[in-house]
Structure formats: structure tokens, C-alpha cells
Amino acid sequence: MQERTNNAGVKCLKCKREAEIKLSYADLCVNCFCSQVEKRIRKAVREFNMIDKKDKIVAGISGGKDSAVMLFNLKRLQDRMGFKLEALLIDEGIAGYRSECKKKAQKLCKELKVKLHIVTFKKETGKTLDEMIKKRDKLTDKKVKTNLGACSICGVFRKYLLNKKAKELKATKLAIGHNADDVAQTFLMNIMRSEVKRMKRFSPAMDETTDFVPRIKPLIFVPERENAIYAMQKNLAFELRECPYAKESFRGEVKNFLNQTEQKYSGIKFNVLNSYLKLGREFENCEKIMASNNENSAEKGLKGKEPKKCIECGENTSTEKCKACQIRELLCVKSSN
């Protein structure tokens, strides 16, 4: 994953010392490379007003490279700004994988002196993800169409439990390790699925009017590969293996497409990311206009539509039952309420 320049005499683009890391757009020494990653994280925090010194940040970590880089840099920012910082790991119960990731996360938190909270699917829902997938596969064998990929099931419950525990911990922000690649992939996936409205949910700073703890994404300007190189250079504890269920995901197909296109046309990922951010700003401007119109309508005695609530759990939803409750019913999973 890390490439070093082989040509003797190749100089760092920034400081002109010997270059050690070769990227598609530049040759850099280790110090300049790490400094560049850190500057991009600080830029994201500053540009999107992600953190205030009065915040209590709960960082969702997985034991992987991205969340390791995020937590390491949040800890450095905490030392300068003084906000509160704790970490949260969701153990889905993936045999042979999550236990190793958990060990790496525990090691990292111990080294950084950050308190770690662990929540398990088993305790909160009565089933591990492995058990849920077995149940899904049995239904499929009985010709019952579920249209549920492993990542879809996992994502719904991870999101729910991250938010639930963050609220219990009285977090003002929930930090997520989504990198530049993740954002570009999600942007394309939403377009391909004709789910443009979902883009707002993936914004760098989540709308605080929802029932979710506002989410921040400090790694939004850092590519996945550069996170891995940075984590290795800083000797951070992380698990490099990919989740065994990743092969089922649509995201994997989009990821491969973007990686192959990036190899041919350097800068494509950042172009997609910038398109997403520009479109997000357009959405924001439209919402301000709509909010102004709604205020004018209210003055005339007109009221806007109230958001729908799930009839089972009371969470915001676009349908009668939210996705989590639909999956619970189908897979016989208990509610953690």
C-alpha cells in the first residue's frame, strides 16, 4: 500500500530533501507527507466548524486504519483545544475478524489514553451479525426474498447503536472515520440509485434537527490509501484486513470502479468529492430559501408537514416502519429500547 521512490536523488516536492513516499501527484518525504495529512484534517475541522472547545466528542472506531488516524489526530486536537474525547466501538460479532479489530482498537486507546466503550450486537439485539446472516440465508433457502445484503443489515444497526450510545454518553458530536474515498463512493452510489436526497445525510456536518447526535467527518479530505500510509508511519495499531462480508456490497463495485479510473486519470476522486461538496452547498442554499418561505407561510396560517415517525420505535422515517424495525421483524431481532 505504501510506495517509496526507487530513483536515487528524487527530492521531496515541498522541502527538497530525499523523497520516501511516492503518490500519484507528488513525491514527498515522510515529514511532509504526514504534515499534509494533518493539515487536511485541520482544514476539514475548520471549514465545516466541526469542533468547539466545549464539545464532548465520541469517536466511532473500528480497529481499522481510518478510525485509527482519526482518533490519533482528534487526540492531538484535544490537547490543543481542551474538548472532551471518548471512543466507541460497535462489536457486530463477526467471527475471526471483529475480535482482532477490537484488540487493535483497545491497544490504540490505551496508548492514547482515551476511554473506550464497547457495545455488542449480541447484547443489544440478541443476535450477532453472523447469526443474522444465517437467518437471512435460511429465509432465502425457503424462497423468501429479503433483498438484504450483509452490509445493509450491519449498517442499519451500527448507525442505530452508535447514535444510541453517543446519546447515553451525552456526546455533542459523533466523529466518524469516513475518508475522501468513502464520500466519493457514497456520492456515486446515491446517484446510481437515484437517491439524491440521501446525500444530505452524508454531509460533513449532520443536520442537528434530526434525532441523531450531529456527526462530523474529520477525514473527508484524506484519501483512503494515504490514511493507511500515515497509520503505518505513525506506528498506529490497526487491522488491515477487510471485513469478510465486504464482497457482498455494492460499495465494493463502486470502489473498484473509482480506483481503476483514478489510475488512468489522476485526481478523479477529488473531482468527485468536490462535486459532492459543491452540490451540498447548493442544497444548503435551497433549504435556506425554503425555510424562509415556510416562515412566510406560517405567518399566513399555513403549516409545513411534520416528519413521519416509525410506528414501532418513534424514529424519523419516510415509511410507516423504519428500516431497523423492518429488519428486526424479518430476522426476529429484539429491540434494544
Average the pLDDT over each of 44-53, 72-81, 170-179, 201-210 and give the range with the smallest value. Answer: 201-210
Q: What is the pLDDT of residue 33?
A: 97
Give the whole-angstrom CA distance, residue 295 versus residue 303.
9
Output the pLDDT for position 300.
44
CB atoms within 10 A of CB 167: 14
State pLDDT tens for residues 137-160.
Answer: 998 887 777 778 899 899 999 998
Percent of the chain past pLDDT 90, that is, above it, reads 64
Total of domains in the chain = 1
Residue 102, in any domain of the structure: yes
Whether residue 8 is predicted with pLDDT greater than 70 in this model: the reply is no
pLDDT digits (tens, 9 = 90+) for 71-96: 999 999 999 999 999 999 999 999 99
- pLDDT mean over 49-75: 97
Output the pLDDT for position 131: 95
Q: What is the CATH number of the domain that holds 234?
A: 3.40.50.620
Range of the structural domain that residue 266 is part of: 47-285
Q: What is the pLDDT of residues 18-46, one digit of tens each?
A: 999 999 889 999 999 999 999 999 999 99
Is 322 domain-assigned?
A: no
CA distance to 59, 69, 154, 244, per residue, from 213 (Å): 12, 22, 19, 29
Among 68, 69, 123, which residue's Cα sits nearest to residue 91? 123
Domain assignment present for 31: no
Between 196 and 280, whose confidence is greater? Answer: 280
pTM as predicted: 0.88
157: which residues sit within 8 A by CB, 6+ positions away? 92, 121, 124, 125, 129, 324, 327
262 inside domain:
yes
CB 173 within 8 A of CB 58: yes
Residue 114 forms part of a structural domain: yes
pLDDT at 292: 66
What average pLDDT score do residues 212-226 get?
A: 95
